[in-house]
Every structure is written in C-alpha cells, then in structure tokens.
Amino acid sequence: MAIAEGQWREVALSDDEYARICELLGREPSEVELGMFGAMWSEHCGYKHSRPLLKTLPTDAPWVVQGPGENAGAVDIGNGYAAVFKVESHNHPSAVEPYEGAATGVGGIVRDIFTMGARPIALLDGLRFGPLTDPRNAYLFSNVVAGIGGYGNCLGVPTVGGEVFFDESYNGNPLVNAMCVGIAPIDGIVRAAASGVGNVIMVIGAETGRDGLHGATFSSVDDPEASHRGVIQVGNPFLEKQLMEACLELLGRGSVVAMQDMGAAGLTSSIVECASRGDVGVDIDVAFVPRRETAMTAYEIMLSESQERMVLVATPDRVDEITEVLDHWSLSAAVIGRVTDDGIVRVRDGEEICVETPVRYFIDECPTYQVTAEEPAYIGEAKSFDLGTVRDISQEEVNTALISLLRSPNIGSRRSIWEQYDYTILTNTVYGPGQSDAAVLRHKGTPGGIAISMDCNSRYTYLDPFEGARHTVAEAARNVACSGARPLGLTNCLNFGSPERSPANYQLVKAVEGMGDACRALNIPIVSGNVSLSNETNRVPVYPTPLVACVGVLDDIESRMDLRWNDGDGIWLVGGGVPSLGGSEYLAYQHGIVAGNLPALDLDREGRMLQMLQQVAAGDIDVAAHDVSAGGLAVALAEMAMASDIGATIDGVETGDRVDATWFGESATRVVLALPAQQAGLIEMIAGEWDTPIRRIGTVGGTSLSLAGSETSLDDMRQASDAALDIAVTTESTK
C-alpha cells in the first residue's frame, strides 16, 4: 500500500525525517515500516533532543554494575548482590485516564526490573498536579493515587515512598513518575541483547490487543491534542504477578538468552532494541503472535502496547521447558521468529513480508537535534525581585505562620496518599513513608539494607534550572544520608515542555548541566533514567521537573536514623547553609510570590555533610536526623515533633535580618540532629573532623513546639498538617 501524502505526520515524523527514511531505504516505506519508524524515531524511544545532553552525565563508578543502555541500572550493594532500579514517566496516559495511566506506569517499570533477573522489592512515585481546588485536578490526583496503589498492592510490591507537588503549571498536564527497585545476584543479572543465530524469539504473557496503539509516538509530539489521544493501555496486576514469577523462574534456571519488556512501542521496540544490542537481525511472523482480538493487522500487532507481555530469546532446545513454565503460570507462549545474521528486521504476516529494514536504520540513524537556547527574560526578572518589599513577621507571629504553612499541600501530611499503599508487604520495609528522610529496606539474608529517596524542587528549577537541578541532586543524596546510608547511584526522569521552544529548551539544557555538575562533585553516578518532553497545556510548559531518585547502601541495617527524637534529647543544627526566602514555599504559599535567588549551594560542603552523617549513623549513638528543606527550620522541627509525638523548646537560634527567613527560609546543607545530651561531645567531634558547623539549638520535651517563645501545640500542628490534602474526592472525570 502506497504512503499517502502527509501520512508520515500522523505518526509524528517531520517532512525532513520522512525524506531521510526514503533516502535510507531507497524507496518509500511500507505502512508497517512507517509506523515502526514513527515509534522508534519518537522522542520517547529515540531521545532525539535529549540524547546529546544525556551523554554529558557521569555514569561510571567502581560500584556501578550496569549503567544506562539496559532496561535498568544496577549498583553493587555488597555480599554479591546489586540493587537494580529505574524511574519512568506515564504523564500523558495519566492525563487521559488517570487510574489506568498510573497503574500501567507501575506495571511497566516493574517489568523493567524483573526483566533483568531482579526481584522487585520497592516502588516509589513522583507526582505533580495543579491545585486541588480545581475539580479536574482533584479527579486526576485521587485516581492517579488509586491507580498506583491498586496495581502495586495487587502485584505484591510495596510502595514505600515518593513525593508530590502542586502548582498551576501542571493544570491539564499532571506528571506521574514511577520508580522500582529490585535485588539480584550480580552474576544473575540478565541483559536484553539478542544473540545466537538460529535462536528463537518468543512472545510470552498476555495476549495482544489494540490498546495503546502509538502511545510512544503521541506522548512525544509537540501537540497537546495529539498527545492526549486514546492510547491508554489497560493493566492487569494479577497477570503481571504471574508473569513476574514465571520470568524470574526462567531466568533462575538459565532458560533464556535475553529478555525484554514490551513497553513503549510494544513488539517494535522490543525486537529492534534486542537486535541492536546484540548486533544481529531478526525474522518474525506476526501471524504467530497470540492475540485477544481477531483480524488484527500487522501494523496493529507491531505497534500495540498491550500490557504484561515480554519478548524472550532462547535456544531452540529450551522452548518446551519455557512453554511448560508458562503453562504452569497460565500464560501464553509462542515462538514468533528467529535470530538472523544479516542485521535486518524482517516482519512477515504469513506469506507477506511487511518489513525489511536494517536494524541500524531504526536506532543508529535516528536523528538527533542540538538544543540551544538563550536565558528567558523571566529568570532575570525573578532574580532581581526585591524581597524587602515583602512584609516581615514578628516573633509573636511565627506560631500563626507555621500553622498556615503546615496546611500547604506542598508541606502537609501525605498520610491520605500512603495509607492507600501497602508499604509493608514482603516484610523488607524498615522505614516506610513519613518515618525517615528516605525509605529503608532490609536486604534479607545479609546484615545490610538499602535507602531510597525521590526528590525535585520544581519551583527551584523553574527559577534557576542549573542551580535548581544541583539542589535536586544534593537533596536526594542528603535524604539518603540522613537515613544513615551511603549514596551509590541515581536514576532520573526529566520532565519538561517542548525542547523546540523557549523557555523549555533553555530549562532542559541548563538542568542537565546542573545535574551533571552535582553528580560529579558528589561522586554519585546516574545509572538509568527516562525523558518526557512536550509536557504542556496550550503551549505553556509545566515547571521543569528533573526528578531524581537516589539509592544508597547500609552495610548494617541497625545503623540507621529516622525522624523520631526522644524526651530529653538535645537538638543540634548541623551545617552552614544560610536560609533564604528566594523560591521558598513560604514566599509562594503565604504571599503568592515565586521569585528571588535560590539558597547558595556549596557542593564541597555538601559532600562533607554526607560523609559526616554516615559516620554519625555508624557510631554507637541513638540519633534522629532530618534535613532542612521545604518550609525551612520551623517545618523541619515541626515534622520531627509530630513524628515523635513529643514537642521541643528551641532557644538557641539567632534571628537574622528577617524573622520569617530565620524560621521559614530554605537552604542546602542543613540538618537537624537530636540525641542524648551526654553524646554531644562525640557528635561535635565528628562534625569537627568533617569541618561542618554545629550548634545546639534546643531540647526535646513537652506537648508543644516553642520557637524562641512562639508556642504551637502538637495537636494544632497535626490538625493543620492532616488537612493539607483534604479534597472532595471524585471518581468521575470532570472535562
């Protein structure tokens, strides 16, 4: 069938890109080839604008087992094991159908982990929505959270942490990022590279339907209407549980040569990526693909994004064994083709050859575009804002300001979210949501464990993309260190608007630069990640959101720290960060102002802080730790008091030029520690060894938090915090 004029634009290919495809092939593509090129050359699969930028990020370290390029990254956590982890986005599907969009986002990221032979042990989520006062946003929020919980709970993988942020920039375009962490023996990690000429290619798991057609393509286009077309996959967590157990059994037996999840672009991306990694060709017949709908075309089968499916490569003598295992788990299995030595992707539909294209045309010839941009005017205007025009508060007003700030949706309790998640299933969870700055999980069979944090201050990255991204990396690592762990690696999800227009192009470039700068300074590599661009509504981009998740290791699970202090403890403020109202939640929530210079970030000082916290945790000290971030010192202290159900008297904080900045100003490299007074000498000695400022600021006790005489009861704080996410929950869409 001849390609009609402009048909390539329907699969998000430009005129120049289509001309290049015709030049490579020496002919017009077939309809199936056109669809496959549209998927593989999309931003989602091809990373056309982001690939050159991502190559600048640090990815190596002696403890890195697997860096970018596979289904997930992996770091050595000792005892012969690796933590395998990645984060991905499901933003556009969640804007259309929030429950299934979020649920299938969880399913997809879990498959990326067990595909590598790792058993998933934890999920986290990073979420962004418009204000909950809007019924549509409330609908999206409540159903996304329900979708995450519904899929993860049924699958049996605990959701142990994450973060959420609300701002008008996300009206119409929520962000839903899902992370999964698994554990695998280092020598048991499986890569997705097809090899062995004559080896068979199998499709296993669910049957193929028409759901999700061109999801990868439409989530990558610079067209809000197109990006929200009906491309939503439908998930089945119970089937995924069967698939996970079957795959782990096959990988444990050594039954397969390679395994690849069928995620974005479905069968197309799976076979093309496997062939590319193995430098081989593939020859498949879609007539053998199990399907749940009759009369499906080769185009639909190749581009379907039906969930809970995998591609396997195996030697022919293992087919019966694989089929037997799949039968045991009530899953379909079919041989659909073989590995070849000619470097060609050949797709048949019975007697008809639908595709005959070199593998490298889909991967190596995918165009890349250099993103260049000038600083948008709003950044300079925001930095020049005069904070002196904002009325300061008196010390007597600190109590009222604290209560108000605790009601902020960006500060208050997330209990209404995480109570919908089963965060203790599998019995690995030591610290779940709300207990520590990072989730902490034991590694069964060893004395150790891992800590996981997910962070991004989207407002910071909006005001200063370079510095904001540096702050994001530093905070993720600091939160892991506040649990007592040593940060090992990062995964990121870069959520931005269109890279072809200002301001998103500038934001993307500078944020990646800032992220790389912080990673190099702190010696924490990025081992996996995802990019989601064109997140816009009416050509207005969301706040730049380069979400970062950090994984760290605890050699001894008993050497961990949480938020809970004890009656009679002394309270110390560690670190020399100067509090600033620039970009703060206080300034935005109390005054509706998003402006000012961000707090200064000294990465050398931050690195010493990370080392100091690890040494404190490893010592024989009963200590609570919490970093000072959103909401400033007053909020950090309030959160520790509420977590412990014990108040405190803070009488050692010197008021700076402004009362509001003293208590609600934000900064980097500041941590609150609480510990028995008799251990003060040891803490001060450790801080001195790492050249980190420390001073005692108060004492734990009572039923209220007294900030230099401004008193707030625990009950009042808790009531305000618990009301932060109160909404009229609706399960019906509000268009």
- Helix (H) or strand (E) holding 705, with range, is strand 704-707
**Residue 345 burial class via C-beta count within 10 angstroms: exposed 0-12, middle 13-18, buried 19 and up:** buried
Q: How far is CA 556 from the centre of its chain?
A: 26
Asked if 161 and 241 touch (Cβ cutoff 8 Å), the reply is no
The amino acid occupying position 368 is T
Asked if 707 and 647 touch (Cβ cutoff 8 Å), the reply is no
Q: How far apart are CA 309 and CA 239, in angstroms?
A: 10
Pick the catalytic residue from 90, 214, 228, 626.
Answer: 90
Q: How far apart are CA 469 and CA 465, in angstroms?
A: 6
Asked if 129 and 92 touch (Cβ cutoff 8 Å), the reply is no
Cα-based distances in Å from 464 to 31, 515, 583, 600: 45, 12, 9, 12
- Which residue carries 């395994």 as its tokens? 259
Q: Which of 73, 79, 187, 65 is nearest to 442 (CA)?
A: 79
Cα angle for residues 247, 251, 253 (degrees, 5° grid)? 120
Active site residue 92: no
Q: How far apart are CA 660 and CA 647, in angstroms?
A: 21
Active site residue 90: yes
Asked if 697 and 651 touch (Cβ cutoff 8 Å), the reply is yes
SS3 at position 393: coil
Torsion of CA 342, 261, 56, 17, to 10 degrees: 60
Neighbouring CB atoms inside 10 A of 342's CB total 13
What sign does the dihedral 118-122-127-132 (CA atoms) show?
positive
Helix count (H) and strand count (E) of the chain? 26, 28
Q: Which of 575, 570, 523, 607 is nearest to 687 (CA)?
A: 575
Pick the catalytic residue from 44, 49, 228, 471.
Answer: 44
Q: At residue 176, what are phi and psi to the nearest 5 degrees?
A: -130, 100
Asked if 213 and 303 touch (Cβ cutoff 8 Å), the reply is yes
SS3 content of the chain, % helix, strand, coil (to 5): 40, 25, 40
Q: Looking at the annotation, which residues are catalytic?
A: 44, 90
